[in-house]
Structure 1
Amino acid sequence: MTEARHGLTTLKGWDDSHPLLAFPMVYLGWAYLFWAPMLWSQTSVWSLPNLLWFLIGGASPLLAGLGLAALTGGKTQVLDLVRRLLDWRRIPGRWWLTILLFWLCFDLIMAGLAVVLGITDSPLDVHWTLLQNPGPLLFLLLLSFVFPAIEEIGLRGVYLDRLQQHFGPATAGLINGAVWAAWHAPFVCFPGYYADISFNPELYWWLPMILCQTLLLVQVYNQTNRSILAVLIFHGMMNFTGEWLRISSDMYPFMLSGNVLAAALLLIWWNNKKV
C-alpha cells in the first residue's frame, strides 16, 4: 500500500511538472501499444482479437482524461467532468443551432460550390433510406456519437483546459489538434476499418483537416462554458452528417479548402479580439 501511494505521489509530481506532456504521453502511448498488433495484421479490424485491441487502445482519451483528472484533482475534478458532460444548461440557446446545423450547412455549401466550380457533378449521394432502417441508423449513431464522447472527455475536457492555461485559443487549439491528428493517423492502416462507410481518408488532406476542425471545436467549447456535451454533439454531427450525405470521395481534398477557410476566419476573429 505504501509503495502504491508513493508511486501515485511520484506520478502526480511528474504530472504537476509536465502538465502539457502528461496527457499526450498517456493518450498516444496507450493507444499505440494496443494498436501495434493491428498495424501488421492481414485480418479485419472488426475480427477478433483485432477488435479487442482496437477498443482497448481506443479508450486511451477517456483513460488519460479520467486518470489525470483523478490524479490531480481527485473526486472533485472527476465530478466536474461529469457535470460538463451532462449539463445541457451550460450551452446558450443560440449555440444549439450552431452545434446542430453547422456541419449540415457547411457540407451543403461545399457541395454546391463543387458543382459550380466543376470539381464534381455528384458531390453527394444522400442516404435517405437510412432514416427508415433502425439497424444501420443505430450503428451510424453509435459510430458518430459514442466514439466522440470517449474522445472529447479527455481531449477537450482535460487537455484543452490545460493548454489554455498556458496559451491562447489558437496555439492551444493547434497543439490539441496535432495530438488528435497523431492519434488518428494509424486508422488509415487498420485493415477494413472504413469498409462499411463512405469515408475513406488519405493522410495528406485528413490530418490538416483535423487541425482546422479542432480550432472550430475550441470555439464551441469556449463559447459554451467549457461544455463537453457541446463539443461531443458538434463532433458527432460532423461524423453523422458526412455519412448521411455520403460525401463523394472526390470531394474531400476540396473540403479541406473549406475547413482551412473556416479556421482562417476564426483565427482572424480571435486576433482582432486581442486588439
Structure 2
Amino acid sequence: MLPIFRRKGENVSLASPVRQRNGLALFWAVTFTTSWACWLVAILLGGPPTSSPTVVPYLLGGFGPVIGAIVLRIRRARRGEPAPAHAVSSRPGARWLWVLPLLLLASATVVVAALLAKLLGGPELSLTAGQNLIATLGGPVPFVVSMLIGGPLAEEPGWRGTAYPRLRASMTRLRAGLLLGVVWAVWHVPLFFIPGTVQAAFGLLSWSGLLFTLSVVPMALLTGYAYERGGVPASIAVHFGVNTTIALLTIDSPVTQALVLAVQAVVGFALLGRRGS
C-alpha cells in the first residue's frame, strides 16, 4: 500500500501498515503465549481434556486468539487508533446474508469429499458415531453449543477478525490466507500431546496427523473468503460448518481426510484467488 500523507487540517482515517504490523506481532505473542502455556499445563496434568482439572487449562488455551484480539482492541482504543484498513464490519446488515450460504458451502466441501472417498473405496458414510457423540454430549443443543464455542467463537475473532486484516496491509488476500493458515496449523501442535484430543488420537507423525495439520491451510482460505464477504460471523459459520460436518460424519480415514483437504483447497483457491490483490 502507498503511504498515507496528512494534509493540513485533514484527519488520518486509516492505520499505517507499520502500526498494523506492530499490532500483529503483539497478537501473535499474546495468542501463542496464552494458548501454549495453558496447553502445557494440560499436558503436565496428564488427564483427558474432558475431566477435571485438565479441562480448565485445555478450554482456556482454545481462547488464546480471542484473548489476543481483546488485548489489541484495548490497546487500539487507548491509543485512539482507527480499525485496520481491511477490517470488515460485523454489524448486522446485508453482509450477514452470506452467513447461511457460506455455512452450507463449508459443509458441502466435507460431504462431497466423503462421497468421493466412498467411490474410491474409502469408508462408507455413517451418522452412527455422530449420533452417539450427540447423545454423549446431552442432545442436539449441547452438541451445537460445544461445536460453536470450541473453535469458531474461540478463534475466529482473533484469526480472521484481528490477524487477517492486518496481514492484508502488506499482502494479497491469497498470500494472507496461506500465511495465516500456516500459523494456525502450528498453533494446534500442542494438542497432539494432550491425551483424549482428536489430534492425539491421530498422532503427530501419522498420516492422519499430517493431513489434519495440512488441512488447516485450505480452511484458512475458506474462512478468509468468508471474512471478506460477511465479516467474523461468516468466518464463524464456515468454521462451524466444517467442524460440525466432520464430527457428524466421523472423518478420520486418511483417504477421506486427503480428499477433504483437496476439495477445500480447490474451492479456497478458486474463491480467494479470483478476487485478486
Map Cα deviations across residues 209-242 of structure 1 (whole Å, 9 max, x no partner).
1111101111111122xx2111112211211122
1:188 aligns with 2:188: no
TM value normalised by structure 2: 0.77
- The structural deviation recorded for 1:257 is 2.1
**RMSD over aligned Cα, in angstroms?**
3.2
User: Partner residue of 1:212?
Assistant: 218
| Deviations 1:103-137, CA, capped at 9 Å, x for gaps | 3322222122122222x141443546878898232
The alpha carbon displacement at 1:57 in A equals: 2.3
The counterpart of 1:141, out of the listed 135, 139, 144, is: 144
**Counterparts of 2:64 and 2:137 in 1: how far apart (Å)?**
30
Aligned AA (2:105): F
Aligned residue for 1:255? 260
Distance 2:49 2:136 in 1: 25
* SS of the residue 1:70 aligns to: helix
Aligned 8 A contact 1:212 1:260 in 2: yes
The corresponding residue for 2:237 is 233
Q: Counterparts in 2 of 1:57-68, with a 5 A limit?
A: 57-68=61-72
TM-score by length of 1: 0.77
2:271 is equivalent to residue 266 of structure 1 = yes
Q: Percent identity?
A: 22
Query: Residue by residue, what CA displacement relative to the aligned partner does 1:181-233 show, whole Å, maximum 9, x if unpaired?
Result: 122122122111239xxx95743111211111101111111122xx2111112
Q: Quick one: distance in 2 between partners of 1:261 and 1:181?
A: 19
**For residues 17 and 254 of structure 1, what CA distance do their matches in structure 2 show?**
35
Q: Which has the higher helix share?
A: 1
Match of residue 229 from structure 2:
223
Cα-to-partner distance string for 1:154-193 (whole Å, 9 max, x where unaligned): 1111111111122111111122212211221221221112
Find 2:165's aligned residue among 158, 161, 175: 161
> How far does residue 38 in structure 1 lie from its aligned partner after superposition?
2.3
Q: Which secondary structure state, in structure 2, belongs to the residue aligned with residue 209 of structure 1?
A: helix
Mapped partners of 2:92, 2:249: distance in 1: 27
The answer on whether the counterparts of 1:124 and 1:248 sit within 8 Å (CA) in structure 2 is no
Gaps of 5+ in 1: 1-13
